[in-house]
Amino acid sequence: MKSGGQYIIKSPAWTKTYRLYTVGDIHMHARGCDMALLRQTIKAIKEDPRARWIGMGDYFEWIDIHDPRFNPRNVARTAFKAILLGMADECIDEFVELFGPIRKKCIGLLQGNHDRKYSINYSRRVIKEIADELKVPYLYYSCFRDIVFQGRGRSEKFRIYAHHGAGSAQTKGGKLNRLERFMRWFDADIHIIGHIHAKLDDDVIELGANEDCTKLVQRKRLGVVSGTYLRTYVEDDDESDAGYGEVAAYEPAPLGSPVITIVPEGRKLGVQKD
């Protein structure tokens, strides 16, 4: 776990909405990865002056010819060069080219389970290498990270707890239960998890009292499951094969990145719906 420090937004528009995109479980190089949608997300972040983003892990499928899970019929045709000529270097270059235009809006990159397995097998901390290339914080597998709005002699801090995610829940209730466990275990204003390929959110209202216990106060804590860009089911042809999601009969996944909305004035938190 990483105590990730602060990402400071100076001279904010206090009453305006800031948007935090939760970009993860992309699985680039898998045949089912929706690269067109990913490019739309990057474009939206680039064009929005109040947009920021966090990388939630599993950016690539990371399965090459030395991996027993390798199935050439499940690989995007554009990925064979990376697989055959040195996956790590090709992937790092590809990620930096894609996300370089929005690197200054990145609050950090988490590692996912696919990233971690490849790093262990090849003794390369590939996500740290990507973070170093982009000059953004590497946030390990889970982290705390503060977004701080500063200006006009005042400051508002929103604490984030982010974890790539774990488990294999298939029902909506099971996935929400997984999210709510993280919300109980870790003290933060915003909780973000990935891995389970869903777009879900929940909130909890905590009731307490002020410092001298003379007035009731409440605090909203928000939880979000960060989505995916990997289709569960892809139209097959003579050259392709069923992916692991189809073989396991997973629910079709909603694609894209949930967007957390933050209004510094009044500490308003929400989730932007499609």
- The number of domains in the chain is 1
Would you say residue 186 lies in a domain?
no
Predicted local confidence at residue 180, as pLDDT: 92
- Residue-wise pLDDT tens digits, 185-230: 999 999 999 999 999 999 999 999 999 999 999 999 999 999 999 9
3-state secondary structure of 14: coil
Q: Name the E strands within the chain.
A: 2-10, 18-23, 51-55, 106-109, 142-151, 154-163, 190-193, 199-209, 216-226, 259-263, 268-272
pTM over 0.85: yes
Query: What stretches in the chain show pLDDT beneath 70?
Result: 81, 83-86, 238-240, 274
117 lies in which domain range?
A: 2-162+225-272
Would you say residue 211 lies in a domain?
no
φ and ψ at residue 141, rounded to 5 degrees: -85, -25
Length of the chain: 274
Would you say residue 110 lies in a domain?
yes
Predicted local confidence at residue 84, as pLDDT: 63
Would you say residue 19 lies in a domain?
yes
Predicted local confidence at residue 146, as pLDDT: 98
Predicted local confidence at residue 24, as pLDDT: 96
Is residue 162 left, alpha or beta, with left meaning phi > 0 and alpha meaning psi from -120 to 50? beta
Beta bridge partners of 138: 109
